[in-house]
Amino acid sequence: MQFRVALLNHQKGMNRWLERRELVVEQLGDLRPDILALNEIDIELESARWLQRTAWERLGLSYTLLQQSQVNSLSEIGGQALLIRFPVIESANLDYRSRDRVAQVARIDIGGTPTDVYLTHLQAGEGEEMVRQLQVQRLLRWIGSRDDVEARIVCGDFNAVPDSPSIREMASRFQNVQSRPTASTLLTPPEERPPGWEPLTRCIDYIWVDGPLDVRDSGVCFDRPGQNDPSLWPSDHLGVWADLELPGA
């Protein structure tokens, strides 16, 4: 069975979200993923619930929504979410106890094959690589504790480039589906851009796979500005998508 996974960090409700969300829905209609992982949902605006509802009303895409807020003072502000078209068997979450960051997992049934789909968002910042590495180690231990399935997918904004220690540690256990740049600041007004600013210079958003999953194709998505407004983009990140196949499912 072949299916599609996509990931987007949609930057909460900042930077013209009410206009940006229309681009997200429009390009979601082109992509039509079976699993959509979202970083930086806006809890107060219920942005993930809006997207779930609108995907059904406009596109006929029926998703189960699993949300996970951040913890402590950020719990009422931001979080992450999985939108899933497969039957959900169970879900769980992990508090890293590190900078209010979390991970979540949904065990889903893909053609009779139980598959774990993880989503996380690691610590941002140029000087925070040690924190990210510790978060990756905790994530991998958690994944290892859920060893009663073979097929695993990990999605998220890791805030680290491919040659960083945290990503090398992930790559020692999982296959990365792509390495094209995703980090963009295209939504930043020109007057606020720092000297030497260039968009799309870093890959920090990833889809990882492990087990009996074949990567058939992959690329970036949510990568087109508004037709009548080139300054309006779906997010300050590009998304990532992958077509995967479970042999025998």
Tell me the per-residue pLDDT of 129-148, one tens digit each, with 9 for 90 and over. Answer: 999 999 999 999 999 999 99
Domain ranges of the chain: 2-245
pLDDT of 4 strictly over 90: yes
Looking at per-residue confidence, does 240 or 99 come out higher? Answer: 240
d(Cα 5, Cα 21) in Å, to the nearest integer?
A: 19
Q: Which of 58-67, 72-81, 150-159 comes out lowest in average pLDDT?
A: 72-81
**pLDDT at position 90, please?**
98
Q: Beta-strand (E) ranges in 122-177?
A: 151-157, 175-176
pLDDT category at 195 given cuts 50, 70, 90 is: confident
Mean predicted confidence (pLDDT) in 244-248 = 91
**pLDDT at position 197, please?**
77
d(Cα 155, Cα 209) in Å, to the nearest integer?
A: 9
Q: How many other β-carbons are positioned within 10 Å of the β-carbon of residue 214? A: 12
Q: How many other β-carbons are positioned within 10 Å of the β-carbon of residue 164? A: 17
pLDDT of 242 strictly over 80: yes
Q: What does pLDDT average to over the chain? A: 94
C-alpha closest to that of 246 among 212, 216, 217: 212
**pLDDT at position 191, please?**
80
**Dihedral, CA atoms, 189, 192, 196, 199, nearest 10 degrees?**
-30
Looking at per-residue confidence, does 100 or 157 come out higher? Answer: 157
Max CA-CA distance within the chain? 54
Residue 149 CA, chain-centre distance (Å), reads 21
pTM score, whole prediction? 0.96
Residue type present at position 148: D
- Lookup result for tokens 């009996």: 212
What is the CATH T-level fold of the domain 2-245, as seen in this structure? Deoxyribonuclease I; Chain A (3.60.10)
Q: Is 35 exposed, middle or buried (0-12, 13-18, 19+ CB in 10 A)?
A: buried
pLDDT of 201 strictly over 90: no
d(Cα 218, Cα 233) in Å, to the nearest integer?
A: 21
Query: Phi first, then psi: what are they for 170, rounded to 5°?
Result: -60, -45
pLDDT in tens, 104-118: 999 999 999 999 999
d(Cα 163, Cα 192) in Å, to the nearest integer?
A: 29
Structure tokens at 52: 């779930």
Tallying the residues shown for the chain, one arrives at 249
DSSP string, 75-142: TTTEEEEEEESSPEEEEEEEE-SSTT-EEEEEEEEETTEEEEEEEEEPPPSTT-HHHHHHHHHHHHHH
- Lookup result for tokens 């600041």: 185
Percent of the chain whose pLDDT exceeds 70: 99
Q: Are 215 and 180 in contact (CB under 8 A)?
A: no
Q: Cα angle vertex 243, ends 234, 207, to 5°?
A: 65
